[in-house]
Amino acid sequence: MQGDEGPRLQGKRAVVTGAGSGIGRASALRMAREGADLIIFDIEEDGVRATAEEARKLGRDVYSAQLDCTVEADIVAAFAKAKDACGPIDILMNNVGQSARERASEFYKSDPEVWDFVLGITLMPPLMCSRQVVADMRERRAGKIVNVASNAGLAGEIGLTEYAAAKMGVIGFTRSLARELAPFGVNVNALCPGVTKTRVINRISDDIVQEITKSIPMGYFAEPEDIAAVAAFLASDDARYMTGQSVVVDGGRWMV
Amino acid sequence: MDGLSPDSSTARPEEGRVAVVTGAAQGIGRAIALKLVSRGYKLGLLDIDEAILAETAAKVGNNAVPVMADCTAETEIARAFGEIESRLGPVDVLVNNVGQSARKRSAEFYLSDPEVWRFVVDVNLRSALLASRQVVPGMRQRQQGRIINLSSNSALAGDLQVADYAAAKMAIIGFTRSLARELAPFHVTVNALCPGVIKTRAFDNMPQTFFDAVTGRIPMGVLGEPEDVANAAAFLASEDARYMTGQSLVIDGGRCMI
């Protein structure tokens, strides 16, 4: 809630993918705090259940399910079931996505199978999940789609070639879908987080953490809540005249 | 949590903060002032048009300090900020909104007049530098602050007859990014807003053919309202945007995508 107007997302139904931890969890809870009822998915059943319990404590109606967002048939079934149970979807936050992590490498020695994995989990899920809600949003002439891209796509990062490509793919998808849906009053925007304190950070050595910190003008990492706050803005009517944009939330590392 | 409460969605940390809006009497500036006062800010309002400024200040209410000032004149800006700070306290949020195209004097570049360029650059760019110069030392010292600069999607898209305006508004983006880097270590954020065509009095006397041509270029098919820009300004001013700096937010119904 931002002061004068009351909860911005009251009466809305928001889907967040990858809501079991990190940015997805923080965004689901932020939207719940702003009045949204939720449909949340994650491949990790315990995580998504914990987020659901927390959101229910806020008084929201929550539908949660385990879902692997790389499997199209599962996505189709999961969205159909959720819509049957909850009714139409007002907000979709496509948050699922990841780098190759342990298998990340410089491009000259990279493995095409790893590219396929990263594209499959980072670029394809936003397309597949959006496909499940766009027809309805178009018809109802209302809706918000928030795609999580990354500042790695904009800045380019050594060792993250395929991840940067996939995230730039998310931005291209965002812009095209924004143009397609603009006449129907549906907003599609991307969010580009910088380095955010999620479980991923625990896997990085202290030396590298220090090095990354030095590259951030503001001098610290984002909390998941910093990204969630911007997601809630884009999911609200406060941003109703913004579409096709990539909003960078990275402490000033990359400026668009 | 680095100062961000998990309940930032319901807390009102803005209550009592001081915001200054330049060019606040009408249009986008007025909408921003009204939005910020509804969020609990105290407001300093600058404008060159004293009568209309007084009307806006009355609408904003007891939390407004209106000061008539020509924002291109360094001495007037210094006097205005002196008065606002002495009455409200140090400035937490500065919205550099003043600006305009040359309007009736705008022309295609091959016919344009350098005198007009100077006016356009002064009122759009120099005004933002002058006002920022007043508040930046204090923000730096207090390790907090927000600067929000009004650019335009004309800068990004390029539009006929506004070469000087587009240049000045793109310069605002360069200023935003550099100042953002300078102030990031001090927790002061600096961002820009790039509105598209917004329903203000600048378009009051335009013929319908003009609106048809303009809306034809906007994917959403409608002009923006001043409140659409004001909502984004209020967002950038809030704790919700504390990790965003140096960015340009385009609010133009999908014409330019960045």
The string of pLDDT tens digits covering residues A23-49 is 999 999 999 999 999 999 999 999 999
SS3 of A205-238: CHHHHHHHHHCCCCCCCECHHHHHHHHHHHHCHH
CA distance B58 to chain A (A): 19
List the catalytic residues of B. Answer: 165
Residues above pLDDT 70, as percent of chain A: 98
pTM of the model: 0.93
> Cβ separation of A251 and B243 shorter than 8 Å?
yes
Question: What confidence tens digit (pLDDT) does each residue in B16-47 have?
Answer: 999 999 999 999 999 999 999 999 999 999 99
The verdict on a CB contact (< 8 Å) between B248 and A256 is yes
By CA distance, what is A26's nearest residue in B? B6
Report the residue from B38, B196, B242 with minimal CB separation from A4: B38
Per-residue pLDDT, A2: 42
Q: What is the pLDDT of residue B187?
A: 97
Q: Do A219 and B185 touch (CB under 8 A)?
A: yes
ipTM of the complex in this document: 0.91
Cα(A6)–Cα(A245) distance, rounded to whole angstroms?
A: 26
In chain B, which stretches have pLDDT less than 50? 1-9
Query: CB contact, 8 Å: A218 with chain B?
Result: yes
Closest approach of chain A CAs to the CA of B184, in angstroms?
5
Residue type, B188: V
List, in sequence order, every beta strand (DSSP E) within A137-202: 143-148, 186-193
Mean pLDDT across the stretch A125-154?
Answer: 97
* Alpha helices by DSSP H, B61-157: 74-88, 114-121, 127-142, 153-157
Percent of chain A with pLDDT strictly greater than 90: 92
Q: Is A163 a catalytic residue?
A: yes
Per-residue confidence band for A226, with pLDDT thresholds at 50, 70 and 90: very high
Whole-number mean pLDDT of chain A? 95
- Please tell me the predicted confidence (pLDDT) of residue A5: 55
**Cα A107 to Cα B134: distance, rounded to the nearest angstrom:** 49
Per-residue confidence (pLDDT) for residue A6, from 0 to 100: 65
Mark yes or no for CB contact B7/A240 under 8 Å.
no
Q: What is the pLDDT of residue A202?
A: 83
Distance CA A176, CA A90 (A): 20
